[in-house]
Amino acid sequence: MTQPKNYITSEDLKSHNKPGDLWISIQGKVYDVSDWAKHHPGGASPLLSLSGQDVTDSFVAYHPGTAWQYLDKFFNGFYLEDYTVSEVSKDYRRLVSEFSKMGLFEKKGHVVLMTFCFIAVLFVVSVWGVLCSNSVWVHLISGGLMGSLWIQSGWLGHDSGHYQIMPTRKLNRLVQILTGNCLAGISIAWWKWNHNAHHISCNSLDFDPDLQHMPFFVVSSKFFNSITSCFYDRKLNFDGFARFLVSYQHLTFYPVMCFARINLFAQSFILLLSKRTVPYRVHEIMGLVVFWIWYPLLVLCLPNWGEKIMFIAASFSVTGIQHVQFCLNHFSSNIYLGPPSGNDWCEKQTRGTLNIECPSWMDWFHGGLQFQIEHHLFPRLPRCQLRKVSPFVRELCKKHNLSYNIAPFWEANVLTLRTLRSAALQARDLTNPVPKNLVWEAVNTHG
């Protein structure tokens, strides 16, 4: 005789949302992932952010069909009593299924091979320019080429973090260390930890680390209340110094982006030297050591300090284009406070992203970020398939009245600057007191 099912309500499920007590629901079945959180390949952060609720859409987005077979060992015997599926979720899941049947998640094209070849050419030409030429202009161009190399290696690192770009997982891991740690000096472990949290909590002011750039930038006056970052687990203090920097953020945006890579270097070391659990920590550190051997040695081969600084500035400035691209996709989009919710997955992902309009021959430049909405809804989809599925996503958004925001590259820059300027002007409002700062007072006191 069939055993009766045990049901719990959504309210009951919400109470299981703490470390050591993490429950989630997938298609109405409830799973206890408390112990699994520390072993989860995507890190504990996504599970913590979405715990205590139904996460079917996000699970479908991030896991291949083969992952379903492992769920039963986490099933705790409960079913969600008030489980329902919205019409937009039904259509979204239908699209995931159709794309899977079409083999789009497995068809990666020749993008990886072409990018590898491009990176190799850029590296050889850049090194040759430094070692075999005495021309200042050649050295300047070599620095720019090195920055271009970092951009392309960043696209490969991004892709390999979302899906397997190589035939085996070991090779995929090798490519991650090579393109991220060894070539670019950025820990792939840090990137995955940060980026997974961004995708799950897209444009949440207190959960999405990609919006938490205090004291340099804020995209909303809500940061003036010194909100607490649930990602970094610390308060983002909006003090007098932060107010001074934020007040001019629309003017400092591009200069800061030119050297934003320094922050990524620092964040990589902070994570790897912390007590936080880091998969393959030794591999990660060895990869960074490789970078900090070859890049300084290459710079030291230049004839004088002027050219050394010029080379570094050129490489950092060119790769700053990529940092700008990251910001364009989200800074001017809809934001919210609080944790992400599983029952409006499509709504949150589409409202918090901006596509960049560009012709197909410019896809190499944007690395897939031009289809940011498609990428956020289908993060496992290879970059070469994003343009193909774009009409289906547009139709989904149109049918369910979801946001589908798109702008040309230059207009996206204007929208971003407009967002930064709006927050900057609000920060200058002296009627909103914050702890005093001598620099702020010196610049803004009149009479």
171 and 46 fall within a common domain: no
247 and 320 fall within a common domain: yes
Paired with 54 in beta bridges are 25
115 and 252 fall within a common domain: yes
75 and 218 fall within a common domain: no
For residue 406, being part of any structural domain is answered with: no
223 and 175 fall within a common domain: yes
Domain boundary among 314, 341, 368: 341
- pLDDT computed for residue 40 by the predictor: 85
For residue 293, being part of any structural domain is answered with: yes
For residue 266, being part of any structural domain is answered with: yes
Domain boundary among 290, 312, 341: 341
22 and 124 fall within a common domain: no
- pLDDT computed for residue 37 by the predictor: 86
- pLDDT computed for residue 286 by the predictor: 96
Whole-number Cα distances in Å, 175 to 74, 97, 102, 183, 348: 32, 29, 27, 10, 32
281 and 208 fall within a common domain: yes
**Which domain range does residue 44 map to?**
6-84
216 and 272 fall within a common domain: yes
Q: Which residues of the chain have pLDDT under 70?
A: 1-3, 430-447
Split into its structural domains, the chain has a count of 2
Domain boundary among 51, 84, 117: 84
Of 259, 283, 290, residue with least CA distance to 185: 290
67 and 178 fall within a common domain: no
How many Cβ atoms sit within 10 Å of the Cβ of residue 191? 22
Q: Is the peptide bond before 215 cis (omega within 30 degrees of 0)?
A: yes
- pLDDT computed for residue 442 by the predictor: 46
For residue 445, being part of any structural domain is answered with: no
25 and 158 fall within a common domain: no
For residue 123, being part of any structural domain is answered with: yes
- pLDDT computed for residue 3 by the predictor: 67
- pLDDT computed for residue 2 by the predictor: 60
17 and 127 fall within a common domain: no
Burial of 146: CB neighbours in 10 Å, binned 0-12, 13-18, 19+:
buried
For residue 149, being part of any structural domain is answered with: yes
For residue 380, being part of any structural domain is answered with: no
CATH, residue 67: 3.10.120.10
Token duo for residue 405: 């925001």
288 and 228 fall within a common domain: yes
For residue 50, being part of any structural domain is answered with: yes
